[in-house]
Structure formats: C-alpha cells, structure tokens
A and B are shown apart, each in its own frame.
Chain A
Amino acid sequence: MKRLRQAINNSDISRFRFHFQLFAFGLLIYGGYLAIDFGSNYIPAFACPFVETRGGTCYLYPLQHQLNMPLSQLFSGRGIGLLTGFITFLLMFVLFNKAWCGFACPLGTVQDWITKLRNRFGIRYSTYSETVFSRQKNIKYVLLALLLLLSLGMSNSLFGMQKLSGDFSTSYCMICPGRTVLPLFTGDMSQLVIDFSSKTKTVLTGLGMAVTGLFFTGAFVKKRFFCLLCPMSALQYIFSKAGLLRLKKDGMKCTRCGNCYRVCDVGIREIADDLESTMIVQDDCMMCLKCVSACPEEGCLKATFLGLPVYEATEQGFFKRMGGRS
C-alpha cells in the first residue's frame, strides 16, 4: 500500500491527465458510437448536446430547457424534473469536484491541445494582470445569472418585462464555443452559421460565431482562456466545498516558493500565497493537480478523496518529475 502510494506520488500527473483527457474526450464526443450514454443529461462538463455522437450531455443544456417553465409549475411534476436533474448533476459533480474541468471537459481538452500546439510553435503564452484577472472572474457569474434568467424569462414575465421569445431557448448554448467547436470533431459543420430567422437568433448566433473566433485566438495565447469565463465553472464552484475530491493545502509547510503558481494554467495566485485556507480550490481551478506535482514540500499540497490522500506532494516525486525533463 505504501509503495503504491509512493508510486502514485512519484508519477507525472500531467501525462496521466493527457491520456485521461483523450479517453474522456473519446467517451464524451464519440461515446455514442459505442452506444454509451454516460449519465445521460447531467454531465458537469461541456459534453455538448450539439454533438450527435456524444456520450453524455452538458448539464447546462437540460437546465436551460427545464427552467423554461412558469414559476407556478415549479412545484408540479416539471419542478420535480428540474429537481431530479439538478440532484443528478450535483451527485456527479460532488464526486470529482472541479476535476471535471481538468480531466473530462472536452472543450477544456481542446484548449489544452491548442496550448500544446502553441508550445510547439515556441510562441509564448499571455498572462493576465491581477486587475484583469480579478475583474474577468465575475463574467462567468454574470453569464450564469443570464443563463438562468433568460430561460425563466421565456415562460414568466420577469421584472415586469414581457415574456421573452422562444428564440432565447438555450441562449447560453448559442454563444458557447462548445456548440460550434465540438461538433467539428465529428465532421459536423452545421453549427458554423448565423441564423437570420429572427433578430434574437441573428444576434445570438452572431455572438456565438464571434466568441468562436475569440476562442481560437484566446486559447492559442492564453492557457484555458475560455474556462475563466465558463458559467459551468461558476455553477460548479458554488457547490465545490461539498466536493468529495478536494485539494488541500497545509500552510505551515508552504515555503511560498511559488512553484505551484508558476505551473498553474489558469493563474491562481492563492495557491502559493494563501497560507490560511486548507481547502484551496478557487473558482477558476480545474483541479489539474499540476500544482501538487510542482510542490516540493512533503504533504504541503494534496488531493484527497473522502479525506484519503490520492495524490500528494513529495520531495522525491517533485525531483523525479523535474529531473526527467528537457
């Protein structure tokens, strides 16, 4: 047992993650070919419903559909549908916490591939300044709020406004790059259009294509560019503290060497500089655990599942990983 744990702690999480991501991508994008419908509608990651052959569905899609109901029906059968949908999502999420983002989300995986491509070209990555970083942190909550309100607003008149047109159906999906990018992997280009059938649709799909353009440049120069804006990430973070998989930090053992911050794809400074918090998952964190693998302090950072350490920072593991480079 001890030797197994040592072997795991000495392992290179990034390599494991790369292969796991490939596997998850295959499952979620092509799983349908094998008649795999993994958790059906409630995946806490961008298993995009616009991909015909997908093996699961991003929870945001059914959520938007289910919210399109009069508030008076909230406590009827449809309300139960919403509730069960949410509970399924929550159960799936709680199991792996934000590791869904780092290990399973197909759009995250695509961004990691784009990053690899950039690295191969030898073009440097961009980083946000602290102010930009903290400001854009809020965008995903705004998107989440809009997503919920627009869905509700189709069947209810909110804030004294008229009911919204049905063209706002799954409005977030219309601007999500997952919808336009992920179907491309199955050869489906049908989402790369602007829909002129109504003003709402024109604006939404137009925005969608603009975001798609931004997605490619953004992901090319900034690691996990889109994840910092993702409303799924916002929705997840609300329940992150309940996650069974946790990222823990022991501030006493931290030397603030900053290695973890150095390798962090999303640029979370707290991972290095927060010495008080023991549960260190931030809203932008995708639990890729690169920080754990870059930490040379015995047991300072660790991923635990139900309190049991799964992957722990060790001096030996750190030097083994770093020594095997270049």
Chain B
Amino acid sequence: MKNHPLIVLVIVLMTVACSQPASAGSGEEIFLSESPPRGHSHGKSRGGEQGHSEHRAAPVKKFYLNTHAISDNAAAYVLRPDGTMTKGTLSHGEDGWSVTFDTRPLDSSMDGVFNVYIVDREVVDQTLLLKVAKMNMINHSCDWGHKYKYDTERLTPKSINEIPLEITAGGLWDGYFHTKTMSGDTLTFTVLHEGKAVEGAKVKVSTQTGWTKELKTDSRGKGTFQLIRDYYPESWDDFNSRKRGNFLVTAEYELAESGEYSGNQYNKVRLITTFPWKYNPQRNEYTSYAYGISVATVFACVTGFGIFLHRERRKRRYREADLDEKA
C-alpha cells in the first residue's frame, strides 16, 4: 500500500525535476509499473515490500502504464524467454492504460526473463515521437526447479531490433531468480537503437526519492551509474532490509530523419525510452561478518576447550584418589 503514493511522488518529482523540455524525462515518456499509478490497489499486493512479488508464477500478468494518453498506434509486445514474440493486450481503465499478457503454460517452459514493451508513435510538431516503455519481469516458480539457473540465455534480457530505442541491463537477478540490485551497486546498461548501440544518448536516472543523475552513453552505447543510498529509517527498529526503492532510467535520442507517418510529415525523429528497476538496501549495512565469525569462533573455542578440560579431568580421576576433605 505504501508503494502507491510513492509512485505518484515519483511522477510529480519527475515532472518537477525535468522542466527543461529538451532533456530526457520531459514528462513525455511513458513507463510501466507493477501496480496502478494512482493507488487503486486491486486486492492484496502480495509481498510488494517483500521484494519477490514477481517471484511467483501467475497465468496472466498485468502491468500499468503511467498515462491515460497514448495514441491509437500504441502496441504492446512481449518477448518471451525462449525468444518468441507475442502481443500483449492494451486496455484502458480508471487507472489509465495497462497491458495484460499470458505467461502460460505454467510448466517451466516459460521460465525466465520476459521483456514487455509498449511502443507508441505519433507525429507532433513535425517530429516523429517514438515512445517506448520497457519492463523486465521474471516468470519463475521455485517449484519448477532451477534448471535454467546456468542458462544465461534465459536470464539475460534480450533485445529486439524491432524496438526503436531500448535500454538493456544485465546481472539483475541472482541464481535463484531474485532481483539482486542493492543501493550502492554500480549498474551498467546499454542503449540500443533498433538493436545497435547508440553513442551520445541522453540518459537520466531518477529514484523515487528524488535523486537524479544525467549522463551520456559512450561509444559502445553503455552508461554506468552507482545507485545511492537513500533509505534512512528513523530508528534501527524501523529498518526493513526488504525496503524496496524504485528508479527509472530514461534515455532520449534524436535522429535527423524525415518521412511520413500516418499521413503526417516529419523532419526529425525523437526517441524516448524508459526502463524501471528496483533496489534494496545494501546487505553490508545490516549484516556483519565480524560478529558472525566471532560468535562461531567463540563457541567453537569454548566448547573445544571445555572438552579438553573434561578429558584432562577424566584422566586425573583414574590416576589419583583424593579424599582429603580438610578433616
């Protein structure tokens, strides 16, 4: 439940922070999230804060878009872990647009990472605006076993050439298909234009707490940033190791191309793409090797020494008969 006002906050913050219309995150972008943007929660959002909400097999998945306003050209694509593509169904409700798609059969054949895309095209002011919202989700149940644990193919999000602009990031999950991103981690992503790396794309990272960072992709289309620590509970008792932070990566790129789309002329192409992800507090913040190993060592040594003493005493017992009671 806590999630939803925060997501609203993200939107507000992002609109505020990105007042310059030309920069990435201009408010034009569309992005996907796991829960409805305006807090109309549908039933219990299982484990939202607990992290592994994605980590449960469901026959149908639904993700929400941040807007009511998409064009009729908008389409949803789903790239499944086995490399096949299907279409998702876009529907409109009081929460705005959402996409639903099938993850069946629930028999582990679809075990792995799904890419969900919504691609919207329209011509505005003689500019072809290509908006892409991407989301990675994992379709997995431990009951299926972990046979794809070492199948990096299944765990590496793919990209497809059909998508005008997309952000890919690797190493988001551990071997158990849990998201492993923590604050303090350095994340590397690649911006691809129709499958090819893009140099000089404007990228903006913004967390729901308001931290933003802007950068440009290098010659290999890569960008790197370190996630900040932005979780400071009032007291240690309130600390929640599964506290989830959300952030959004937005990339923007312009092409000097002209053409016609749906009867409208354009002389340049602007591409905006988003990629939301999540992170947890850094593990080192709340765990301690020093204490752990000390406790183990102390217990090992104390019992070891105890046994040694016990054995020494036993030896003595058979050697001497000490009966003096200071009569």
Tell whether any CB of A sits under 8 Å from a CB of B in the complex: yes
Chain A nearest CB: distance from B158 CB in Å?
A: 20
Indicate which residue in A35, A166, A180 contacts B150 across the interface (CB closer than 8 Å).
A35
| Chain B interface main SS type | helix
Whether A213 contacts B149 by the Cβ 8 Å rule is: no
Whether B296 contacts A210 by the Cβ 8 Å rule is: yes
Interface status of A274 (Cβ within 8 A of chain B)? no
Whether A197 contacts B150 by the Cβ 8 Å rule is: no
B240 partner residues in chain A, CB cutoff 8 A: 197
Interface status of A40 (Cβ within 8 A of chain B)? yes
Whether B292 contacts A209 by the Cβ 8 Å rule is: yes
B175 partner residues in chain A, CB cutoff 8 A: 52
Classify chain A's interface size. 35 or more
Chain A nearest CB: distance from B279 CB in Å?
A: 15
CA A220 to CA B295, docked complex, whole Å: 18
| Chain A interface main SS type | helix
Whether A192 contacts B286 by the Cβ 8 Å rule is: no
Interface status of B15 (Cβ within 8 A of chain A)? no
Whether A221 contacts B143 by the Cβ 8 Å rule is: no
Whether B300 contacts A209 by the Cβ 8 Å rule is: no
Number of interface residues of B (CB under 8 A): 34
CA A313 to CA B170, docked complex, whole Å: 58
Interface status of B299 (Cβ within 8 A of chain A)? yes
Interface status of B71 (Cβ within 8 A of chain A)? no
Taking CB atoms and an 8 Å cut-off, the chain A residues in 209-224 that contact chain B are 209-214, 216-218, 220-221
Taking CB atoms and an 8 Å cut-off, the chain A residues in 157-174 that contact chain B are 166
A214 partner residues in chain B, CB cutoff 8 A: 299-300, 303
B286 partner residues in chain A, CB cutoff 8 A: 195-197
Interface status of B142 (Cβ within 8 A of chain A)? yes
Indicate which residue in A196, A210, A218, A221 contacts B295 across the interface (CB closer than 8 Å).
A210
Whether A194 contacts B304 by the Cβ 8 Å rule is: no
CA A41 to CA B147, docked complex, whole Å: 11
* Contacts A205-B292, A209-B293 given; does A217 touch B143 at CB 8 Å: no
What would 20 more interface pairs be, CB under 8 Å, given A65-B142, A194-B295, A197-B239? A32-B146, A41-B142, A41-B145, A52-B174, A166-B50, A180-B296, A192-B296, A195-B286, A195-B287, A206-B295, A209-B296, A210-B295, A211-B299, A212-B296, A212-B299, A213-B299, A217-B303, A217-B304, A217-B307, A221-B304
* 26 pairs of residues in contact across A and B, judged by CB atoms under 8 Å: A32-B149, A32-B150, A35-B147, A37-B147, A40-B147, A62-B143, A65-B142, A85-B143, A126-B307, A166-B50, A192-B296, A193-B287, A193-B288, A193-B291, A194-B292, A197-B287, A198-B239, A198-B241, A209-B295, A213-B298, A213-B299, A213-B300, A214-B299, A214-B303, A216-B296, A221-B307
